[in-house]
Each structure stands twice: as C-alpha cells, then as structure tokens.
Structure 1
C-alpha cells in the first residue's frame, strides 16, 4: 500500500513540478545540527563536572543552525553565526575547519564553496560528490511532510575535506569491514549516511553536500552528527536570490585539503623548533 501511495504522490508532484506554473518554484529551509562530544581515552579520566564544562564551552561547535535556500536547479547553504555565551565572541578557531557557504547546482553538477583558513580566503570549485543512495522501505512524518528513508556509504574524506585531523596523518585508510554499536556494517574510511527526504518538496537537494534524492532531504545522520529541518517555507512572498560565492583563491577540494594539511604540519614543526 505504501509503495502504491508513494508512486501516486511522486507522479502527481513531478507533473506539478514541471508545469508552466512551477517555473518560479523556490523555498527556504532551516536546519539544526547536533554532534556528539567524543572525548576518547581522555574522557575516562574526567569527572562528569569536567565533561559538562567542556561541553558548555564547545556548545557553538556541537550545536549549529543553518539556512538552505533553493529552487529547482540550485541551492545556497549557510551557517547562522552565533555568539559564544561564555566568551561573548564568535568561534574564530572553529571557522578554520568548518564548512563555509556552499552553492550547489544540480543541473551543472557544480559545487562552489567559500573557505577561510587563518585569514586567507579560498574559493573551492569542484563537481558535486556522487552519492549512491539506496532507497529503503521505511517512511515517517517530519512535521507535515511524509518522508522516505535512503542510505548510503560515502568516503569520509569527501565529507570532511574542509576539516583537519592529526590522526589522518598517522594512519593510512584500510578496507576492513566492522560492525558499529547499532549493528550496521561499515567499511573503514567510509561514513554511513541515513537520510529522510520528502517527494512533497520535489527538488533533488538537501543540506550541506547532500543531494540526489527525489525530494528535499529534511533529516540526515552521518557519523556523530544529526541534521534536522525545523521549518520550510515554499514560494515565499519575497523572491529568493541563490547566491554564488565569488571571493577567494580558486582551488579544488583535494588541493585545498593538501594546502591546509601542509600548513598545519608546518605550524607544528615550527612549534617544535621553538621548544628546543
């Protein structure tokens, strides 16, 4: 029954989507993300009070708010900047390794992302990350929208190319299978992604780098991070402009990651020399 209903909804929305009246179709979605605080072996030595204090200090990095504006072909995704409740300032250090403003064009297979690393601006231009989604049978409602589940395994480095990890320098990726606590089969070097999309909003887009499903992605879980849509506005009164980042040195994703790794290693080595 669900599959018949899904096919009916999809067909009706596709016809609406491509009708002459749908040319100006556009929308805005608000997302909230939460990440788990993983303290590893250091956490075992800390008291609950110390863990709570660290979590409070890292709140701006663990909990974020984003805005996605979209039309039938493209989208612009941006983090809403927050003031730290403790310091009264923005998280300048975190900006060096967080995702910048992101423009995706589905029709042109184009990604344009602005990144800033220690005051230097970069304009990352590349193809969209290909995602081999598997459509699952489960469905649920998120707000007023009927959503369907899809899963995929994506190379972790493709989801974190704007970030930096010392551990990546100390070990090479292997291809061993492992079982997570949730019982999901994983491949080392890959991230399991679970997404929920709604055909009721017929755009093949979503938050961050996620796209490629027959409907807007309203929820996505990847690694220790969950991103959930809290509000959607379809065809607002004021026309939405899809921005394309323009400032910065043009570079590809792989070249950008190589640049920041080299810079971080250089900084580490310089600190080591000063201590001698």
Structure 2
C-alpha cells in the first residue's frame, strides 16, 4: 500500500471519527429531576407573630411557612436547549394542618416553567400575577460565578462549588425612611431572619453541560445543587440519553413581555395588594395561595 493510499485512509477515518463525535454531541439528551425545598427561618418577635395570636389565618400561614414548601421539577435538556417544569405538588412536611396551601419562589426562576436556549442566550418563562398568565421572553441573566476550590460528592458525582452575589441596583437601594420604617414594623420581611443574597451552586464537570435548574447556567458542568437563602434545590435523579424523546416545552399561555416589564408589573400589583391588606413588603413571593375545606 503506497503512501497516498495510507494518507487517504487516515483522512477518511479521521473525518468519520469527527462526524461521529459531532453527531453524538448533537444527539445527547438527558432528564434530571430536582427537589426544591423552601423553609423560612422565622423570628419570634415580629409584628406578624403578635398578629397571629388573634388572627387564625395569619397563624395558619406562619405555621405553614415554618414547615416549608416542597416542589419537584424535571429538567429535560440537550447540549443547547432545555425545558424546566414542575412535576407535581408535594405535601408540606408534616402534613396539612389548616387547609391553607401555598408555594414559594425566589429569583432564578426555580418555581417557574422555563425554556432555555443556551446557544442563543435566550429564555421563555411562564409568569403569573394574581391568576393572570404571562409569557416572559428575554436574554438569559449573566451569573458572574466565582469558582471555589471546595469539593464534595453528591450522589455519584464529584462536584465543585461556585458562588454568585447579585448586584443590588441603585433603584432598589433608594428606599425612603418611611418605607423602611413600615417594613420594619410589619409584613413578611420582618418575619424572616437576615437575608443573605449569596447564591451557592455545586456543579459537576463529569457532565460538561452549562445548565441547571430554573434559569441558572454558566458553569463548566451541570448544576447539581443550588442554595439561595431559604431555598435548596437538589438533583435527585438523572437519566442520560433516555429512550423516549424530549418534550422541551415552550411556555405559550398569556401576554408576552420582557422580564423587566413583568417585574415592574409584579411589583406594582404586590404593592397594591400589600396596601389593601396592610401587610407591608415581602422578601419573597407567595406564588399561589388558596384556602380549602
């Protein structure tokens, strides 16, 4: 066999190997199940605690907040796209005690249905304000993660820690003395321990996908666990290359708007509700609240 034949064969083998690798990367798919647990650390000397002594509804709400809220989510993803959606409502730890049910969500969209396109740096999120649906379309937020040397094993995966401290915008800092006094005297904010904005994430390079629950992304590996103030999100199951096709759902129900416009509308509606109910300002959102028999 002459040198030309050997060179040609080597070229064909290399080209086939590259094509096979590219196809494998394109065909990659996975399903991950995450458990989100929000448990509020309550103060015993807040105005709401005193109000609970005479108001059964407030007392029931506080008891539920102390027990916490559990939700299960599924993340279906390829190397460039993903869909994150709620699987089912899980019972509040300790079982129901008052007929009140609720779910909590913090930033990061961990309580929302969200489609992400990592390649295009965009997302489509399902939003809801007081029973009205919205479709939020925007660019993915930038998480300026700081990679640390801390490691731990979560399940069978070797994980590394990263943290991110959100920048507080100027308009969020400009709180009047009157608003600050009102928030200190009443409301859900006063019920909670001091708020720490730091977000901690544990990711594994063993699955080199820059994705995770909610709109979290941007790390050199799949995010296995996230800790954000009183909410912990933990991977409980991961199936690589499942037999069934992925759904990769995109939220469609409701009026389309940007994240900024949605946040403004949400704040206005929350402020209006707080004024009507006299509950001050909250540090989190009660996403759903219902009374049952």
Distance 2:228 2:37 in 1: 11
What is the Cα deviation at residue 112 of structure 1?
0.8
Could you tell me which of 247, 251, 259 is aligned with 1:245? 251
- SS of structure 2 residue aligned to 1:154: coil
Q: What whole-Å deviation, never above 9, does each CA across 1:106-129 have from its counterpart, x for those lacking one?
A: 111101111122221100111111
What is the Cα deviation at residue 140 of structure 1?
1.7
- SS of structure 1 residue aligned to 2:265: helix
Q: What whole-Å deviation, never above 9, does each CA across 1:89-145 have from its counterpart, x for those lacking one?
A: 894x64798832111111111011111222211001111110111111122211111
What is the Cα deviation at residue 63 of structure 1?
2.0
Give the gaps of 5 or more residues in structure 1: 1-14, 158-165, 173-187
- SS of structure 2 residue aligned to 1:80: strand
Distance 1:215 1:73 in 2: 13
Q: Which residue of 1 aligns with 2:281?
A: none
Residue 240 of structure 2 corresponds to residue 229 of structure 1: no
Q: Which residue of 2 aligns with 1:145?
A: 157
Could you tell me which of 174, 191, 194 is aligned with 2:197? 191
Q: Which residue of 2 aligns with 1:30?
A: 33
Larger-gyration structure (1/2): 2
Contact map agreement 1:102 1:113 (CA 8 A) in 2: yes
Contact map agreement 1:60 1:82 (CA 8 A) in 2: no
Q: What count of residue pairs does the alignment treat as equivalent? A: 230
Distance 2:118 2:226 in 1: 19
Contact map agreement 1:32 1:227 (CA 8 A) in 2: yes
Distance 2:99 2:49 in 1: 30
Give the gaps of 5 or more residues in structure 2: 1-17, 170-174, 182-193, 279-293
Q: What whole-Å deviation, never above 9, does each CA across 1:139-194 have from its counterpart, x for those lacking one?
A: 2211111111112112478xxxxxxxx99x9349xxxxxxxxxxxxxxx9972111
Compared with structure 1, are the counterparts of its residues 18 and 127 closer, same or farther at alpha carbon in structure 2 (3 Å cutoff)?
farther
TM-score (norm 2): 0.66
Contact map agreement 1:156 1:190 (CA 8 A) in 2: no
Compared with structure 1, are the counterparts of its residues 108 and 268 closer, same or farther at alpha carbon in structure 2 (3 Å cutoff)?
same
- SS of structure 1 residue aligned to 2:268: helix
Residue 132 of structure 2 corresponds to residue 120 of structure 1: yes
Distance 2:26 2:88 in 1: 32
Q: Which residue of 2 aligns with 1:203?
A: 209
TM-score (norm 1): 0.70
- SS of structure 2 residue aligned to 1:264: helix
- SS of structure 2 residue aligned to 1:22: helix
Structural mapping, 1:1-276, within 5 Å: 19-40=22-43, 41-42=45-46, 57-58=64-65, 62-82=69-89, 85-86=95-96, 91=101, 94=103, 99-155=111-167, 170-171=179-180, 191-269=197-275
What is the Cα deviation at residue 19 of structure 1?
3.6
